[in-house]
Structure 1
């Protein structure tokens, strides 16, 4: 295989006969000697020569030749990026995205989901762009916190995001991901000056995970008053008393089954 790669490097550098180079690539594919790298090289060669449509056929050949999911992901990703770059028909690109998402396993498609969303966003379909990512978040068994943070960052000025924060809180998340989600939700509510909602979120955070009180204290110092600060301190004291009450602990633990994974929190809203 290394010899073939070297052969094509020499061929492209020293020979101006495009048809001869192209025929050699096709011969390599016919003999089943093609590697994923050679597929990418051939496609790029055709694109550099202005034969973009033909380069798409090479990606299609690669998808037929290779069954490994990771290799197919790389081919699809390259295929999609180049199709967008060369302004391929939008409906054809959408069909390619949909086909890719059907054929690839969930654990590999996050970058494709993001690319699909960006494609629709750039084409002015803002709601569709949001839904592409959000539908995946709500249906996947994978930890979606990176995608949630992506949506939060991109759509932070949209007040409708609140309803989705509330739905995301119903997902089964690790403690670390839940903390990130709550911090982002709190930041969103502060930006919208919904300070009572912020306090409710802080109470929820401290009741469900080991969330530092410093953030809440800093919030009250900046946005609250003496009354709200004292209310926070009373909540803090009550929480400590509850944690120190062995009877309360036993009663609470007896009504809730322990999750099989101790790092997973099942939120009951």
Structure 2
């Protein structure tokens, strides 16, 4: 840039253009202000904040569709992480403006946002997408979004996502859907699996749920399924829970089988 003539460097100075746009917003017209913002975008010297400011200016003057076109230009210019705030504002204001009136278009926007976002930035988008479906679409579609999120967000965020997914399943669909989610969480394979510690926690919660429902055989099958991940010398809470379960709900044979499995698992970790 230093090789450019001084006049050209001044012409491309974002600081000067920023002063110019501030002046137009204060003393000019809507059209003159828009012209300055458009020139900044055409010169490709805009920052994400300039894009946000321009969209906000248009919204303040009720040019909603024009503001959405500005967001479109912004996300075309900037990639993650620089486009993150632009995407967030775009999705938020589009949903606030149209709610369920333009549902298919909103869905397309969320899909575009997810395609653009790396996994580490995807969870908030998934959750907003699911909320859109809950409030304006179909509960089944919301469940599909939660399912995608649980498999796709980074490993440390999956457990919290599954917990929200289960809570929504309980609210909208009941025990059948919850069983499907628990089983998926426990059995999911790489690269979509939960961390092992979370699989153990999920297994215990699932077994406790079945026990509360009086489904003793189901609960026992879950203990058996998850036991292979639980070193008896380390995961003592799991084995204590299973032992208490057999004392309360089993018999001598099932208790003996639990002890046999415990010895076998201990040997596998030795």
Task: Calculate the TM-score normalised by the size of structure 1.
Answer: 0.73
Cα shift readout 1:107-136 (whole Å, capped 9, x = no counterpart): 543322222111111114001111123245
Alpha carbons 1:5, 1:38 under 8 Å: kept: no
Correspondence for 1:51: 63
CA distance in 1 between counterparts of 2:216 and 2:86 reads: 48
Cα shift readout 1:74-121 (whole Å, capped 9, x = no counterpart): 322321111001116222212222333344444543322222111111
- Residues 4, 49 of structure 1: CA spacing in aligned structure 2 closer, same or farther, 3 A cutoff? farther
1:60 aligns with 2:82: no
One of 148, 160, 174 as aligned partner of 2:162: 148
SS in 1 for 2:88: helix
- Residues 15, 137 of structure 1: CA spacing in aligned structure 2 closer, same or farther, 3 A cutoff? same
Alpha carbons 1:137, 1:147 under 8 Å: kept: yes
One of 215, 222, 232 as aligned partner of 1:194: 215
How far residue 196 of structure 1 moved from its aligned partner, in angstroms, is 3.8
Cα shift readout 1:162-196 (whole Å, capped 9, x = no counterpart): 12322332213321231343244235435544344
Task: Calculate the TM-score normalised by the size of structure 2.
Answer: 0.72
- Residues 218, 16 of structure 1: CA spacing in aligned structure 2 closer, same or farther, 3 A cutoff? farther
Alpha carbons 1:107, 1:142 under 8 Å: kept: yes
Correspondence for 2:264: 242
Task: Give the 5 Å matches for 1:114-193.
Answer: 114-137=127-150, 140=152, 142-143=154-155, 144-157=158-171, 158-161=174-177, 162-172=179-189, 173=193, 174-190=195-211, 192-193=213-214
Correspondence for 2:43: 31
1:74 aligns with 2:85: yes
1:93 aligns with 2:102: no
Higher relative contact order (CA 8 A, sep 6+): 1
- Corresponding pairs, count: 245
CA distance in 1 between counterparts of 2:264 and 2:123 reads: 41
Q: Alignment RMSD, CA only?
A: 3.6
Cα shift readout 1:130-177 (whole Å, capped 9, x = no counterpart): 112324545x49534333222112112512221232233221332123
Cα shift readout 1:1-35 (whole Å, capped 9, x = no counterpart): 77358627843774363333222212211222100
CA distance in 2 between counterparts of 1:50 and 1:231 reads: 74
- Any gaps of 5 or more consecutive residues in structure 2? 1-12
Cα shift readout 1:210-257 (whole Å, capped 9, x = no counterpart): 474546756886x88656387786456435533565xxx4xx99xxxx
